[in-house]
Amino acid sequence: MDPNISHNPHNRAILVKLLGELDEEVLTQILEKGKAIELDTGSFLFHQGDLDNSIYIVLSGRFRALATQSDGHLHALGDIGEGEPIGEFALFMGEPRSASVVAIRKSVVLELKENEYLEIVAKFPAFSTKLTRFVVNRLRRNVLQQHLEAPAKNIAVINLQSENDISEYTDAIKAQFESLNVSIQILDHDSHAEMELQQVYDALEQHEGLNFLVCNDEDLDWSRRCIIYADLVVLASDFYADSKIHEIERHLDLYSQNILNKKIYLLLLHPEEAKFPENTRRWFEDRKIDLHIHYRKHHGPDIRRFARILSNKAIGLVLGGGGAKGFAHLGVIKSLYDNGVEIDFLGGTSAGALYGLTASFCDFDRKMIDFYSHDSASSKLTKNDFTIPLISIMSGKKMTNYLKKMMGNTHLEDFWVGSYCVSTNYSNASAKVHERGLAWKQIEASIAIPGIYPPVVIDKELHVDGGVVDNLPIETMYNYPVQHIIAISLTQLRSQPVDFDETPSASKLLLSKITGKKKFRIPGIASILVNSLTLNSRQKQEMTKSGVELYLELDLKGIGMLDDTRWREIVQKGYDQMKNALENFPEEKRFW
């Protein structure tokens, strides 16, 4: 890095990106008054409870915020990357630091003490306005934006089968980034291992795009340097290879419990026209993996998905519950793909789990989705399934057998696209997120409507419909590297008054149906049960939808919870309403 920080164009660009356009004189004052501080890996910038009220701006490197919370344990709150401020609230509020901040690789910050800040503001009031505006905007950020970390700049790559040539995979990724005007720099053992540490560091920080540091199992010193410099570690492996822990993983101590550990993505490489993955779970034994990604050679959607994931620009689709209305989710998905929106992660509750994960299981193939739509409706899964009503009205056997027949021994981690569903753990009164395990079993738990279907036993605990606690699981999607969330609700949040003063008797309702005069518009027993159970989670839905880029509440009036005979109509309604939402989405906000 240029020792004269005020004349370094990179530093000036950082300030402009953070604060917006400023006069050159103001930029020079900020950089000259401030102090550049270099921190090695593991060095703390400050600790929780400190009274220091300086503000810091990350000029290069990466930090992690840590805080001891009410349970007495130290928790990682998130990573802070290049171009982001640290500690701005302490400057304005004068309060103790709410968290500790540690460098997770060699980093440089610009420090501005309170008196230096005031001196600059006295000469250039515009600086105060710009910084205040930034702080206000940060406070206004929705929940997703608060969770979204800065994308990784330095990515260490470890090929677990170093004898295998994976250039066809990596060349495709490089070409994808170049098509997005993202510059790629590759630093490998042959070209950079002999360089001095500072030379390697300078090469990384002076490059404005992504840096890929290629580890080498024959030179562990170089590989350790790659890990130290990295923001993210990608393990690449032939999916069909032996899944045992390799020597390079042990030597680099990738899975130890350490606050400085980098996130690890497991990239599982498949051949062209690969069959559906089986037994992905073997790769998780003895490994601590933050995310696994299936990648088929020359498969465009997989290449584009991986590029979006690495750049924190992935798209997540969240689907809500609502019985047979869930057929509309299939129409939504078909409409998204017809309009060029590819799904990188999918999550759902109840009907959102059933129909959404079916589409994900089909790899969003239209013909397969159409087949299962017709086949499931023809199977009349909610008809003639009554049982002795001790714990539920229906036995659930028809649905379970159908899911078993469709998905067999497939686990959620085998799906080509990362998918999850949510149930309610009845045994400990909490939400349960299912990201791994037998797919049919996890879906069965998510759709087990209390009173209608029996609870599902998983790990000796009872699980019921996820809609009891979270009918539209948006918050769970924050845990994935997504920048854009699309959420589809099947339940309308607005008030729905009735046109009668007293609830009609059963005989009046029966007479109304016999005569064909629909005098009373009142929901059936299934709708009342489900909607009553999900009232609390509907309030949560109202609060969390602010973190969504595109929120669509489908209008499915007149369609009952068990009305699967109208599946074609329901699918079409979902398709048409999603198409209309996309067409009317502001041009300047489009992310596809």
Residue 470 sits in a domain whose CATH number is: 3.40.1090.10
2 is catalytic: no
More confident residue, 271 or 202: 271
Check if the beta carbon of residue 18 is closer than 8 Å to that of residue 57: yes
525 inside domain: no
Count structural domains, the chain.
3
User: Looking at the structure, do residues 296 and 320 belong to the same domain, yes or no?
Assistant: no
Range of the domain at 162: 154-311
Q: What is the DSSP annotation of 234-247?
A: EEEEETTS--SPPH
149 inside domain: no
CATH number of the domain encompassing residue 38 = 2.60.120.10
Q: Strand runs (DSSP E) across 170-329, as ranges?
A: 184-187, 210-214, 232-238, 263-270, 291-296, 314-319
* 284: Cα separation from own chain's centroid: 20
Q: Coil, strand or helix: which one is 542?
A: helix
Q: Render the burial of 114-129: b for 16+ CB within 10 Å, e for the rest.
A: eebbeebeeebebbee
The mean pLDDT value for 399-412 works out to: 97
Q: How many helices (H) and strands (E) does the chain have?
A: 22, 22
Q: Which helix (H) or strand (E) holds 226?
A: helix 220-229
Q: Which of 84, 116, 140 is the last residue of a domain?
A: 140
Which residue from 299, 370, 301, 289 is spatially nearest to 334, judged by alpha carbons? Answer: 370
pLDDT of residue 267: 98
- The segment with the largest mean pLDDT, out of 1-10, 216-225, 348-357, 506-515, is 348-357
Instruction: Please determine, for residue 146, whether its predicted confidence score (pLDDT) is greater than 80.
Output: no
Which residue from 295, 304, 243, 289 is spatially nearest to 269, judged by alpha carbons? Answer: 295
User: Looking at the structure, do residues 337 and 281 belong to the same domain, yes or no?
Assistant: no
The mean pLDDT value for 67-81 works out to: 86
pLDDT of residue 518: 63
142: DSSP letter: -
User: Looking at the structure, do residues 347 and 237 belong to the same domain, yes or no?
Assistant: no
The mean pLDDT value for 173-182 works out to: 91
Instruction: Please determine, for residue 192, whether its predicted confidence score (pLDDT) is greater than 90.
Output: no
Q: How confident is the model at residue 512 (pLDDT cuts 50, 70, 90)?
A: confident
Q: Which single residue is written with the structure tokens 């959404």?
A: 356
Q: Which single residue is written with the structure tokens 């759709």?
A: 447
Residue of 217, 414, 465, 470 with catalytic role: 465
- The segment with the largest mean pLDDT, out of 298-312, 383-397, 488-502, is 298-312
Q: Cα–Cα distance between 80 and 103 in angstroms, integer?
A: 9
Q: Which of 279, 311, 343 is the last residue of a domain?
A: 311
Q: Render the burial of 33-55: b for 16+ CB within 10 Å, e for the rest.
A: bbebbebebeeebbebebeebbb
Q: How far is CA 317 from CA 39, 79, 360, 374, 538, in A?
A: 39, 24, 11, 23, 18
Q: Which of 117, 140, 163 is the last residue of a domain?
A: 140
529 inside domain: no
More confident residue, 197 or 61: 61
Instruction: Please determine, for residue 136, whether its predicted confidence score (pLDDT) is greater than 50.
Output: yes
Q: How confident is the model at residue 2 (pLDDT cuts 50, 70, 90)?
A: very low
Q: Coil, strand or helix: which one is 459?
A: coil
Check if the beta carbon of residue 230 is closer than 8 Å to that of residue 156: yes
Q: At what angle do helices 220-229 and 197-206 cross, to 10 degrees?
A: 40
Which residue from 488, 408, 395 is spatially nearest to 443, judged by alpha carbons? Answer: 408
User: Looking at the structure, do residues 439 and 578 belong to the same domain, yes or no?
Assistant: yes
516 inside domain: no
Instruction: Please determine, for residue 493, whether its predicted confidence score (pLDDT) is greater than 60.
Output: no
- For the stretch 294-305, pLDDT in tens is 999 999 999 999
514 inside domain: no
User: Looking at the structure, do residues 126 and 158 belong to the same domain, yes or no?
Assistant: no
349 inside domain: yes
User: Looking at the structure, do residues 65 and 205 belong to the same domain, yes or no?
Assistant: no
pLDDT of residue 205: 80
pLDDT of residue 236: 97
User: Looking at the structure, do residues 79 and 126 belong to the same domain, yes or no?
Assistant: yes
User: Looking at the structure, do residues 443 and 384 belong to the same domain, yes or no?
Assistant: yes
350 is catalytic: yes
User: Looking at the structure, do residues 458 and 565 belong to the same domain, yes or no?
Assistant: yes
Q: At what angle do helices 351-361 and 397-407 cross, to 10 degrees?
A: 20
Map 494-534 to HEC letters: CCCCCCCCCCCCHHHHHHHHHHCCCCCCCCCHHHHHHHHHC
Instruction: Please determine, for residue 1, whether its predicted confidence score (pLDDT) is greater than 50.
Output: no
Q: Kindly calculate the radius of gyration of the chain based on its CA atoms and give it in whole angstroms.
A: 27
Work out whether strand 74-80 and strand 35-39 pair parallel, antiparallel, or are unpaired.
unpaired
The token pair at 409 is: 């021994």
Which residue from 461, 443, 456, 447 is spatially nearest to 391, judged by alpha carbons? Answer: 456
502 inside domain: no
Mean pLDDT (the chain, rounded)? 89
Q: Which of 14-18, 226-230, 564-568 has the lowest mean pLDDT?
A: 14-18
CATH number of the domain encompassing residue 223 = 3.40.50.300
User: Looking at the structure, do residues 206 and 130 belong to the same domain, yes or no?
Assistant: no
Residue of 237, 350, 373, 376 with catalytic role: 350
User: Looking at the structure, do residues 541 and 479 belong to the same domain, yes or no?
Assistant: yes
The mean pLDDT value for 251-280 works out to: 93
505 inside domain: no
Residue type, 153: K
Q: How far is CA 292 from CA 178, 510, 514, in A?
A: 24, 54, 56
User: Looking at the structure, do residues 113 and 131 belong to the same domain, yes or no?
Assistant: yes
Q: Strand runs (DSSP E) across 342-417, as ranges?
A: 345-349
Which residue from 86, 87, 82 is spatially nearest to 108, judged by alpha carbons? Answer: 82
